[in-house]
Amino acid sequence: AGKCYQHTPTETSQATLASVSPVFAVMKFDKEGNTTYFEKKKTELYQELGLQARDLRFQHVMSIATRNNKIIMRMEFLKAVITPEFLLILDYRNLSLEHWLLNELASQLAGEGQLVTYSLPFEFRAIEAILQYWISKLQGRLNTLQPQILETLEALVDPKLLSVDRSKLHILLQNGKSLSELETDVKVFKETILKILDEEEVIEELCLSKWTDPQVFEESTSGIDHAEEMELLLENYYRQAEDLLNEARELRVLIDDSESIIFINLDSHRNVMMRLNLQLTMGTFSVSLFGLIGVAFGMNLESSLEEDPRIFWLVTGIMFLGSGLIWRRLLSFLGRHLDPPLPPHVPAVLKKSQPAAGRVEIKTSLKAETFGLSRSTLTNQ
């Protein structure tokens, strides 16, 4: 019971740890665009690349970092390691990602695409190809959402509709959530690039060939600064992300404005129904008030009036005429309180004493005040 045992790792335990190590499905691209596929354990891969285990711990985040003269790019599910000689795409088994890898990336890395960095070192082409893929993916999501949102809003804002279609509102809610997710992804992409643009040392480290290729280093010292080219490349995609975010914000503002219009239309129809209900209530009150005369004559009491044949028509006429007059009076009272007030009167002396610029400011303020009163009156109605 008093003995102390110490466990020492054996070859068997190390083999067990190696067996449970994750295996990466890797696609390798060289400078000419040639592609090779292989699978390799994480421990073997980071030892071969001269990296640490945490460098290949890819989560669904977005970052661009340099480590041991290698660029590690994390674009959520897109994971890449860039060296001056080749590009590694890890865990590429994704349908949309495989389509891009097989059809576009190889030609772009070989300089056959439309990339502007074909004359620069290999890491420039690799970074631009990945950034272009990601910004085009974000643009595609916006292009898918925009027509759906516009079609739904057009159906909801129709002033002829007395009620709102719940199915359209459900579609708008889903599209609004997708738009919020897109805005978040674009903001993260912008912040990732901006973080690099704010650090000159990081931009220098991204130019891998500058520190490994003597010819490239001589070119950089003779006037061709590759760090400036990398900065221009990142700024280009930063501006594209900014434009994309502005389009998403405009779409968000359009949704908010359309919601306000929908509420105004519903309030307008609701006010019409309330006004009609009020008019019918006043009419019922008027008829009931003069209906008391008929009730009095309908009682089982005898008088000399029921013997005259003209009394029936006289009493009936008085009832209808009195009911109509009272109903008309109530409607005029209602109209006076619901009509918008007249704009305040401006004295002529004040107009003459003010200069031209002052008169323009007074008219502008009065117009804004009148518009505000009319708008508040419409809201009350």
Tell me the per-residue pLDDT of 138-183, one tens digit each, with 9 for 90 and over.
Answer: 999 999 999 998 888 888 776 666 566 778 878 888 988 999 999 9
What is the C-alpha to C-alpha distance for residues 81 and 66, in angstroms, rounded to an integer? 10
If one counts every other C-beta atom within 10 angstroms of the C-beta of residue 87, the result is: 26
CB 73 within 8 A of CB 127: yes
Whether the pLDDT of residue 374 is over 60: the answer is no
Residue 260 gets the label, from left (phi > 0), alpha (psi -120 to 50) or beta, of alpha
Q: Which of 142, 349, 174, 93 is nearest to 246 (CA)?
A: 142
Instruction: Report yes or no on whether pTM surpasses 0.75.
Output: no
SS (H, E, C) 204-234: HHHCHHHHHCHHHHHHHHCCCCHHHHHHHHH
CA distance 120 to 213: 12
Q: How far apart are CA 77 and CA 59, in angstroms?
A: 8
pLDDT tens digits for range 275-307: 888 878 877 877 777 777 777 777 665 666 767
Per the model's pLDDT, the better-predicted residue between 14 and 70 turns out to be 70
pLDDT digits (tens, 9 = 90+) for 57-107: 766 778 888 888 899 998 888 889 999 889 998 876 765 777 788 778 888
Query: Scanning the structure block, which residue is given the tokens 């980071």?
Result: 46
> What's the full length of the chain, in residues?
381
Confirm if 40 and 74 have CB atoms less than 8 A apart: no
CA-based R_g, the chain, Å? 39
CB atoms within 10 A of CB 194: 14
DSSP 103: I
How far apart, in whole angstroms, are the C-alpha atoms of residue 227 and residue 233? 10
Query: For 206-265, how does the pLDDT look when each residue is reduced to its tens digit (9 = 90+)?
Result: 888 877 776 666 666 555 677 888 899 999 999 999 999 999 999 999 888 887 777 777
Domains and CATH numbers, the chain: 20-114 (2.40.128.330), 118-273 (1.20.58.340)
Q: Per the structure block, which two tokens stand in for 359? A: 């008169």
Q: How far apart are CA 49 and CA 257, in angstroms?
A: 54
d(CA 90, CA 71): 13
CA distance 322 to 287: 8
| Chain position carrying tokens 């997710």 | 181
